[in-house]
Amino acid sequence: MKASLLLTLQAALAAVVLAAPTTPNRHQRRDTKDFDIVTAPSVDVAALLASIDLHADMDDVKSTYNNTQFAGFSGALTQAEADFLAAESDVLSVEPVVEIHALATRGSAPWGLQRISQTAKVSGSASARTFTYTYDDAALGSGVDVYVVDTGIYTAHSEFGGRAKTGWSYYSPSTDGNGHGTHCAGTIAGSTVGVASKANLIAVKVLDSTGSGTSTGLISGLDYVASTHATRKSASNFIASVASMSLGFESRSTAVETAVRNLAAAGVHTVVAAGNSATNACNSSPAALGGTGSSTVLGIGASNINDAVSSFSNTGPCVDVFAPGEAVISASNTGASAYQSLSGTSMATPHVAGLVAYFAVGQTSLRQSPSGMKSFVKSGAVAGVLTRNSAYVSGGNLVLANNGA
């Protein structure tokens, strides 16, 4: 941030704003559109807003962010205001708000837990719940907080046994009106269908009942996760934080990627879906941060019961590992004992988010090290078992996630 906008704001903000020749004219704010502004954490957001004659209580300001890793706001701006803010040195990104969507396709049933707990191929019907999950009973995620950044969670489902709660919601009501988030939560930590069945589940609702949302909602949700993690990590019963994101955009977003990178930098293990377009995962956010896209974020592709990369799964150098993502049975939002089968990289991602929670209990040196955990997950994955799909993009890791049991 320029000195004229940080060092002298407290004493003479009004004079600075009036004197700055590039400050947009507030009387010409007719043509506005919504922008996401992400800044360094040291930036005074109130002062930044004041520099363009806005404050947090105005209708034009949709959200503000303030945590240890990033700050900023989302709101309606003219192009001149957006350009003005983009020129400031501590403003990391200024981008138009974009839509985000859940990454799932409908299908038919749980074999995935057995597949991630053995090296050999699974045999049987994907629609049957007759498979055996092998695990270390002392490593089922107790004390780990998993933030399910999704459509919400039906917390009353019998799979969750009081371990699931609603943490934050961008949309009202905060309950899961879609089922996508509940399904993902079940795979992460359900008592019978989950990988880490003793972990805590926190719903961070950034998608509405149709499974859609915006970059503003996602960044706001990540702001909540970062702030809550910063508070929770000093608690005596805290082990680690994991963020599971089974969602994505059609393209890249610097604002979203900045928020996700900074979340991982804060010590939150971050797991993202590769996407369902049978193309290069590096072309969309936040999937582009997986694999070679960062040293801290895990990018997850999908495979099926036949050990083939799913026909829909994105691939390429931004994928770290593959996990079961077809015909996955998990909790449904339609009743406390209801289940449904879904397919997508959305279903593969919570398998690995659950694995991270599982590993965090036993691997004490990795609890606050997303980069170390990423390397550990990759090193334990099984090579030589998966076959490529017809659209496979080379450069990634053709390996299947495994719990090492």
Which runs of E-coded beta strand occur in 115-205?
Answer: 144-150, 164-169, 200-205
Q: How far apart are CA 179 and CA 301, in angstroms?
A: 21
Residue 154: strand, helix, or coil: coil
The catalytically annotated residue of 253, 294, 332, 346 is 346
Per the CB < 8 A criterion, the answer to whether 187 and 242 are in contact is no
Residue 178: strand, helix, or coil: coil
The catalytically annotated residue of 150, 176, 208, 320 is 150
Which tokens go with 84?
Answer: 């003005």
Per the CB < 8 A criterion, the answer to whether 293 and 395 are in contact is no
The catalytically annotated residue of 157, 180, 183, 351 is 180
| Separation of CA 304 from chain center | 23
Concatenating the DSSP letter of every residue in 387-400 gives B--TTPPTTS--EE
| Separation of CA 95 from chain center | 19
The values of phi and psi at residue 315, to 5°, are -140, -165
Q: How far apart are CA 71 and CA 39, in angstroms?
A: 5
Q: How far apart are CA 262 and CA 258, in angstroms?
A: 6
Per the CB < 8 A criterion, the answer to whether 348 and 270 are in contact is no
236 in active site: no
180 in active site: yes
- Which residues are tagged catalytic? 150, 180, 346
